[in-house]
Amino acid sequence: MLEIQVKTNSRSEFIDITSNIQKILDDNHLENGLIFLHVPHTTAGITVNEHADPSVVVDIKNALEKQIPWSSNYLHNEGNSAAHIKCSMINCSVAVAFEKGKLMLGIWQGIFFAEFDGPRVRKVWVKILKD
C-alpha cells in the first residue's frame, strides 16, 4: 500500500489531488487496473467531482456549511461533530479504474480530498489492483 500526505490550510476545503494520483500511475508504469483511495480519518473524506471550474467545490463546501453548521446542539464533546457528519456524507473511500496508464475520469472530473476539521496534515492510502 502507498500513502500520500495532504496538507490542508483551513477548517474546510477541497483539494484537487488528481495529479498526485496520476503521478503514482506514471511513476510505477502502471497500465490497467483499479486504484482504491481511502482516507483514514473521521473528519475528512474523498470524492470525485468537477475540477474544471473551481467554483463547483466552493459551492459544495458552502452547501455543506449551510446544511451542517459548525455550531449547533451537538452532543460530541470534542466540538467537531459537524466535521464527522460531513465526512459521513462525502465518504472516505473511492475507486477509480485506469487504462493505458490514465485515470478513467470524465472530462470534467477530478479527485478531491475533503477537509472538514483542519488545518492538518492528512493521509490518503492508495491500493492498486492491476489487470
Q: What is the mean pLDDT of the chain?
A: 96
CATH number at residue 9: 2.60.120.460
For residue 129, the model assigns a pLDDT of 97
* Residues whose CB falls within 8 Å of the CB of residue 131, separated by 6 or more in sequence, listed in order: 31, 32, 33
Contact 44, 80 (CB under 8 A): no
pLDDT in tens, 84-104: 999 999 999 999 999 999 999
The secondary element (H helix, E strand) that includes residue 86 is helix 81-90
Q: Report the number of distinct structural domains present in the chain.
A: 1
| pLDDT value for 77 | 82
Strand partners, 38: 93, 125
Which residues does residue 27 pair with via DSSP β-bridges, in sequence order? none
- Proportion of the chain above pLDDT 90, given as a percent: 94
Per-residue pLDDT at 26 exceeds 90: yes
| pLDDT digit string, tens, across residues 112-130 | 999 999 999 999 999 999 9
Distance (Å, whole) CA 87 – CA 85: 5
Residue 48 belongs to what domain range?
2-130
Question: Given this model, what pLDDT does residue 93 score?
Answer: 98
pLDDT(79) > 90: no
* Residues ≥6 apart with Cβ < 8 Å to 84: 42, 43, 76, 116
